[in-house]
Amino acid sequence: MMKYFLLFFIVMLIRQYDCIAQGYDVGKLSLEESVAIGLENNLTLRRSQLEFANLETGLMEAYGQRIPTFSTGISSGFRWGRSINPVTNLFETRRIGNVNVSASANLPIYAGGQVRNQIQQTKVNVEIGRLTVEETENNISLNIINLFVNIAFAKEQLNIAENQLSTVREQLNRTQRLVTAGSLPRAELLDLEAQLATTELEVINASNSHRIARLNLSQQLLLPFTDEFDILVPEVSVEGVELDGSGVETIYSTAASYLPQIKAAELGIVSAEYGIRVAKGAFLPSLGVNANVFSNYVDQSAFGTADPLLRQFENNLSQAVNMSLNIPIFSQFRNRANLQRARVQMRLSEIQEVEVKNQLRQDIETAYTTAFAAKQSYESNIRRVASLEEAFRMATQRFEVGAINAVDFQVAQNNLFNGQADLITSKYEYVFRVKVLDFYMGNPLTL
């Protein structure tokens, strides 16, 4: 038994150390901490950042096409049998050892504008990559806030269920005393005992919903889930939360002017335009300069002996400079196919822009319509709960004096519980949707 206890203690100690080593508090997390951890751990964001780094590398490579290439090399070997002596240029039948040294450089002068357009296209692609990273961060933050709100909502639902359970228990104790005193029939006690069991089940369901909400957030943050994992529930109030009355069109215009996904879609068309220019450049002539330096050494001269190494390198040194003009005439339809692909990509980018803007408009329309409905529902539920609270207060008084039975009392209590649950639902829905609309208007994501 002691062995298993020590093993359990070691495991728990290691888990605690891992949490501390990663810089995460095993206690309750605030919204800001949750978003920070989510952004740090999210693998999709890491992938976007690495893809962005690749694009920056591609830009360096594109700039490099403007400067000359340079290479050098050395080779050494032996030949046997009949071969030409590189020094005498005569056929000889003996072993000849040689060392060859060479260097070459190539400078592109004109390539149909392909280099310039490829650089511009890569610049645009780098900016698209940066915007994609920003969009990913926004999506992760929105998702985390939604999961965070779900926990706060589930917590309030649990509090309502626990308060109802407390009320039923108190009423059951009063009824027990009245039944014992003979003031109420035993049937009333049985009805309340059944209600107590039902309410206990509702508490269990609410507790499970709260646990699942915490689990969803911990998994989104890629943190190990424990019973201690929880959030610092903020004071979610509708005070100061107002639905923007400017309408969907104004919100859409504002969002479309700054959101990264819209800018990225627009730049996708610009990138495709440069792609067409690059493809057209392949039909134009290209001009370049090539320079070469070569020398060699052999261990057999005309008289069977070899000159010194450096002297041979100096005597055999040769240089060459060439200018080449390449005029494409027929490339097996390769250039034509590349141009066609570039034009198709242009159409795809135009469709992508329309899709992104349509999706943004639909998201804003949904958020605005939902927020408007939640506001009306919230205001209606406030009046409804006030009436149900008064009805339940009167039902409690009448039940205690025997004016109504336990069934009627349970109906009044259940009505109040459902009304409070609906009020909480509409409250959180209203607050969250308004915050989403605030985000589209360029305001920070906070509760």
pLDDT, tens digit, 9 for 90 and up, residues 19-55:
433 444 446 898 889 999 999 999 999 999 999 999 9
134 and 237 together in one domain: yes
Alpha-carbon span 348 to 73, nearest angstrom? 46
321 and 337 together in one domain: no
User: Packing angle between helix 114-181 and helix 31-41, nearest 10 degrees?
Assistant: 140
55 and 75 together in one domain: no
- What does the pLDDT read at residue 58? 93
Alpha-carbon span 362 to 367, nearest angstrom? 8
- What does the pLDDT read at residue 301? 61
Q: Count of domains in the chain?
A: 2
Picking from 216, 27, 434, the residue whose alpha carbon sits closest to that of residue 447 is: 434
Q: Is 2 part of any domain? A: no
196 and 98 together in one domain: no
- What does the pLDDT read at residue 38? 94
Tokens of 416: 């109040």
53 and 97 together in one domain: no
Would you say residue 10 has pLDDT above 60? no
Name the residue with higher pLDDT: 303 or 249. Answer: 249
Indicate the range of 184-188, 206-210, 248-252, 318-322 predicted with least confidence: 184-188
CATH of the domain at 149: 1.20.1600.10
Q: Is the dihedral of CA 248, 249, 253, 254 positive or negative?
A: negative
194 and 138 together in one domain: yes
Task: List, in sequence order, every residue forming a beta bridge with 291; answer none if it has no partner.
Answer: 105, 321
H or E stretch covering 38: helix 31-41
Which residue range is the domain that position 378 belongs to? 28-67+111-284+331-440
Three-state SS annotation for 78-112: EECCEEECCCCCCEEECCEEEEEEEEEEEEEEECC
Would you say residue 8 has pLDDT above 60? no
pLDDT, averaged across the chain: 84
196 and 279 together in one domain: yes
In this structure, what is the dihedral angle of CA atoms 365, 368, 374, 377, given to the nearest 10 degrees? -90
Query: What digits encode the pLDDT tens for the residues 259-304?
Result: 999 999 999 999 999 999 999 999 999 999 999 999 988 876 655 5
Name the residue with higher pLDDT: 396 or 354. Answer: 354
**Residue after which a domain boundary falls, among 327, 357, 386:** 327
